Structure 1
Amino acid sequence: MHDRRPVPPAQPSHRPLSRSLLSARKFALMASVVAGLGAGAYGLGHSHGSFDLLGTPAQAQQVGANVHAAQQPVGFADIVDKVKSSVISVKVNIADKMARNEDREDFSLPPGSPMERFFRRFGGEMPPGMRGHRGGGMITGQGSGFFISADGYAVTNNHVVEGADKVEVTTDDGKTYKAKVIGNDPRTDLALIKVEGGSSFPYAKLSEGKPRIGDWVLAVGNPFGLGGTVTAGIVSAMGRDIGNGPYDDFIQIDAPVNKGNSGGPAFNTAGEVVGVNTAIYSPSGGSIGIAFSIPANTVKAVVEQLKDKGSVSRGWIGVQVQPVTPEIADSLGLKKAEGALVAEPQSNGPAAKAGIESGDVITAVDGTPVKDARELARTIGAFAPGHSVKLTVVHKGKDRELTLTLGELPNKIEASNTDRGDRGGSSSGLDLPKLGLTVAPASAVAGAGKEGVVVTDVDPKSAAADRGFKEGDVILEVAGKNVSSPSEVRDALASARSDNKNSVLMRVRSGGSSRFVAVPIAKS
């Protein structure tokens, strides 16, 4: 082993500099410039026609050392010490009514059950340990959560505790407590639970502001049942829509998040909760660096209502809406592809009573522009039922303003009685080759009703197929005109071409809902 003795620090000197020392001072000068960029000053002097570093060689070496130290990653230990004790592991037991074979150790989760949705949300197979106890008829699952008050209120995901018969939490110091579900909100996937048996729990603070893309975040949770685990990453994106519902507004982070992290917090470097980890994108079932968190401002608004009354009430106008695509905007003569297109107002809903019709585009609420359908849903949902709002609507190419009183969003969406059964009985129809569709009057197709024309065949290589048309869809309107026969469809298309339209807007009923589809039309 070599004897490495400390090198004595260089002493101030006014002697001529050697070549090696000149090199050292040149390096120190570069380091000083780098340091100066951060400090706002360079510390350069002028001597004999060339720039030089003010100070001694020892000071130059110290500057270089400081820059080197500044380049080292700063740890998160102090932040973790501050916040980790507020995070809990959540364990749930759910009675499995499907488990009747006492000799069976493993069983699949019933489709649509809370725990099946829990694991589908995180992808992959049901992990070891998620098994029914022999003869017990119970399923156990684990997630995460965090205290938001000293008296034991804690936040987790709805899909972690939904349908649970028993909820237990384990704190960072290893103690286990019983908990009860105070309220839940499936639309945002949040739940509020109350931990029993304590009054001085360490708790986390919800952030008042929004994080920025590139900010550090720490995810703390219970991945794979391992207990308090910390991972770090950055905010990758904001406002993500993952198809979970109209209130999707997720923060995307790249901190590793896995099964069991669900319901746990994502902290900023100030130790505040910026989001609740709820989902990951994962082809493999494990983390690939794409996770999604519910923003703190959403958590705060939902938790306040859950604590107050155990559920969430949202304003409701009673419309099916969809985004305005560039093709739809062109079909409607709109200057911008913005706003929310009303596919169908619900009968006797606030919008229908106020005079809103299919094909209208809602562009503003109380004077504030509406970017898209999701923003409209979030804006209206933030108001309490009974609140009066003024909507700006484009109706047949003209702006108009309507005032309506919001209803209350139903907790459960009732399925429409639109199952028309067997659509067989008549396969004859008129070909629309330029669209790739074959259609027939609804009255000629068994079970299709009397309105519109039914799609009886779709060319898989056509523009219509690319836009989601399928056999059995019912075309109700073409270019704003009701249609009940193939000839009316053809006439409406011809009229749109003569008006130099690039695409035609069709209102289509598919299953239990309606939507508008912009289909390009040939000029010749």
Structure 2
Amino acid sequence: MKHAAGTLAFIARFVVLGLAAAFVISLAWPNVGNRLRERFGVSHTTTEQTGAPAPVRTGGPISYADAVAKAAPSVVNIYANKMVTEQAVQMYTDPVLQRLFGGRPAGPAYKRREQSLGSGVIVQQGYVLTNNHVIANADDIQVLLYDGRVAKATVVGADVETDLAVLRIDAGNLPVIHIADQHPSRTGDVVLAIGNPLGLNQTVTMGIISAIGRQLNTSSPEDFIQTDAAINLGNSGGALVNTEGELVGINTLLIGKAANAEGISFAIPVASAKRVLDQIIDTGHVVRGWMGADYTFVPVAADSGLPAAARGAQVTDVYPGGPAAQAGIQPHDILLRIGSEDIVDPADLRRHEAAFKPGSKVEVSGLRNGAPFHTEVILAQRPPMTPTASLDG
């Protein structure tokens, strides 16, 4: 009995010693077992080999926190204050008079301070880009930076057509946003809107680019990015960034539920915003070329066999005494080329003429009553235009 027990104990010690040695070897050489099996031709089937292949994730990132962390420090809150004069009114007690006249002045007029909220983006050291309607007619503009500092801002210049304004702030060590000049925006791209909606500091919303090249004013050369990222009151002037945290647009307006719309917001493309920024910093205002004519799409007869959207732009009206009138351009002319560029459509023509400096002599060619014609137009400076879109952002 003692002999059998001693033998079992001896075997047990060697088993334990063998397992310990195998454990140490597996730590030092993790794949030694597989290599030995392959050498001696022993098959080894695992659930990883026999099971379905692991799915490969090809979608976007699980989180956009890195993009927000990169862009958010460059987005500021803007508080624009102005004094407004109001007249106290005493309502009529008679319901008929109240309905007809409402009320009558009661006492002297008084002044009160009115504050509007908005957002802005630090695009250069000392310069903040925002919407013109955020700071229009303001007597005092305060900018709240990401790190809690408050800086007084002055208006360098504004452009009504793009609804952009450039502010100057005296503060150092400002985080300048990265501009997406190497990644052009495409419909379907994921975008993040960062701003100060309804006074809720540093709010981020997400959506996609719904469309690019949107025209909100038929007489304006500027186009917009349409997005379904939530933009609310106070988001105006804030940043629309891509998933890399790069600026692709300046949030500017929304079409609200009053128009039975949902998820329709607009931003100024960063390329347009950059052109406006550079001109305002250099000269204090934006200058655009102007031919002095209005355009529409080229009409195509249903039985002509041509595509429904023909290239070019048809002249609908010529301003008396304007550059187009002086060059002999007439209503119903179809313009096909300006300078060295072909004209795609009316919006494309407006962008091309706006890009020329006033005083530039430009060759324009097209068709008049089916016959080709050429003329030279000396462009003038585009007169101030008032936007027709409702700015609710």
Number of positions where the alignment pairs a residue of Structure 1 with one of Structure 2: 328
Other-structure match for 1:289: 263
Q: What amino acid maps onto 1:158 in structure 2?
A: N
1:359-390 CA-to-partner distances (Å, cap 9, x unmatched) read: 21212112422122222111100111122211
Cα offset, 1:408, TM superposition: 1.0
Return closer, same or farther for 1:178/1:72 CA change in 2, 3 Å cut-off: closer
Contact 2:78 2:143 in 1 (8 A): yes
Cα offset, 1:248, TM superposition: 3.8
Cα offset, 1:292, TM superposition: 0.8
Question: TM-score, length-normalised on structure 2?
Answer: 0.75
2:257 counterpart SS class: coil
Residues in 2 aligned to 1:71 and 1:367: alpha-carbon distance in whole angstroms: 42
Contact 1:257 1:287 in 2 (8 A): no
From 341, 349, 355, the counterpart of 1:376: 349
Q: What amino acid maps onto 1:360 in structure 2?
A: D
Please tell me the root mean square deviation across aligned C-alpha atoms, in Å: 3.2
Give matches, 1:98-497, under 5 Å. 99-101=86-88, 135-150=110-125, 152-196=126-170, 198-208=171-181, 209-243=183-217, 245-284=219-258, 288-326=262-300, 337-411=310-384
Cα offset, 1:312, TM superposition: 0.5
1:92 and 2:92 matched: no
Contact 2:237 2:250 in 1 (8 A): yes
Other-structure match for 1:519: none
Residues in 1 aligned to 2:218 and 2:79: alpha-carbon distance in whole angstroms: 24
Residues in 2 aligned to 1:266 and 1:398: alpha-carbon distance in whole angstroms: 47
1:96 counterpart SS class: strand
Q: Percent identity?
A: 36
Other-structure match for 1:511: none
1:378 counterpart SS class: helix
The structure number with the bigger radius of gyration is: 2
Residues in 1 aligned to 2:60 and 2:210: alpha-carbon distance in whole angstroms: 22
Residues in 1 aligned to 2:205 and 2:307: alpha-carbon distance in whole angstroms: 47
Q: What amino acid maps onto 1:100 in structure 2?
A: Q
- Structure 2: 5+ residue stretches without partners: 1-30, 35-43, 92-108, 387-393
Of the two structures, which has the highest relative contact order with CA contacts closer than 8 Å and spacing of 6 or more?
2
Q: What amino acid maps onto 1:224 in structure 2?
A: L
Cα offset, 1:344, TM superposition: 2.3
1:173 counterpart SS class: coil
Residues in 2 aligned to 1:233 and 1:307: alpha-carbon distance in whole angstroms: 32
Cα offset, 1:205, TM superposition: 2.3
1:435-470 CA-to-partner distances (Å, cap 9, x unmatched) read: xxxxxxxxxxxxxxxxxxxxxxxxxxxxxxxxxxxx
Residues in 1 aligned to 2:151 and 2:303: alpha-carbon distance in whole angstroms: 59
- Structure 1: 5+ residue stretches without partners: 1-10, 15-53, 105-133, 414-524
1:339 counterpart SS class: strand
Contact 1:12 1:57 in 2 (8 A): no
Return closer, same or farther for 1:229/1:285 CA change in 2, 3 Å cut-off: farther
Question: TM-score, length-normalised on structure 1?
Answer: 0.57
Cα offset, 1:206, TM superposition: 2.2
Q: What amino acid maps onto 1:140 in structure 2?
A: Q
1:298 counterpart SS class: helix
Contact 1:188 1:247 in 2 (8 A): no
